[in-house]
Amino acid sequence: MSIPPSTALVTGASRGLGRALAAELVRHGRTVLVDARHEDALAAAVAPLTDADGSIVPVAGDITDPAHRSELAARAGSLGGLDLVVLNAGTLGPSPLPAVDRLSLDELRQTLEANFVAQVGLVQVLLPQLHPRSTIVAVTSDAGVEAYPGWGAYGAAKAGLEQLLAVLAVERPDLRILRVDPGDLRTQMHQDAFPGEDISDRPEPEVVVPALHALIRGPLPSGRYRLSEVSLPQEVA
């Protein structure tokens, strides 16, 4: 089994899967740099973690802002570099989800910027801060590999990010790059995708975090993984 990461960055950590994973990493003694667009929401999310075994470093900002991406890289450097990067921040795009023939090109550009272009920009500025054998996790979706009505903008952005990171994994075999599909979760983004519908049958993000943590800590190589198919080792079950 690989050595667990000691210092991590988790983007989009004010709610949902990002907040749940950041909490798990801090509980396991990691130093975790976290970001989110809204400072108040981020502060509220990290407040319960101040007494955990690890430490948490919040930096509010939007990853589509180059200055914020540079600030995250600088803070990572001040922490001695990173062993783990989790690309979790992103946007659903327009809601309700429009068909392709009604998709605003401005909204398409915004979705691609947040879910694809800015993610690549963040990886680029963080690469010099990554330790050898570091892990990059991109939180993706089945919408990136399957065709669902209304999911054109979001799915196209995720598909583009997946392919680019697959190429990066070939170019940088010294890194482990995981493209992770967490499945449908009970999050605000998922609710926005289905306005007015009851999504209480979807699991809370905390339910899948043990599998995600096991994948991060484990020996599996670069590739695409569905959390529903990740086996939990006995020590983290």
- Catalytic positions, written as ranges: 154
State the Cα–Cα distance between residues 235 and 214, nearest whole angstrom: 9
CA distance to 55, 91, 185, 236, per residue, from 73 (Å): 18, 22, 29, 31
> How far apart are the C-alpha atoms of 28 and 217, rounded to whole Å?
11
How far are the Cα atoms of 70, 121, 177 from residue 173, in angstroms, in the given order?
24, 20, 9
Question: Residue 22: CB partners within 8 Å, gap ≥ 6?
Answer: 10, 13, 32, 34, 45, 46, 49, 56
Q: How many CB atoms lie within 10 A of CB 130?
A: 21
- DSSP 8-state code for residue 202: S
C-alpha closest to that of 69 among 13, 123, 140? 123
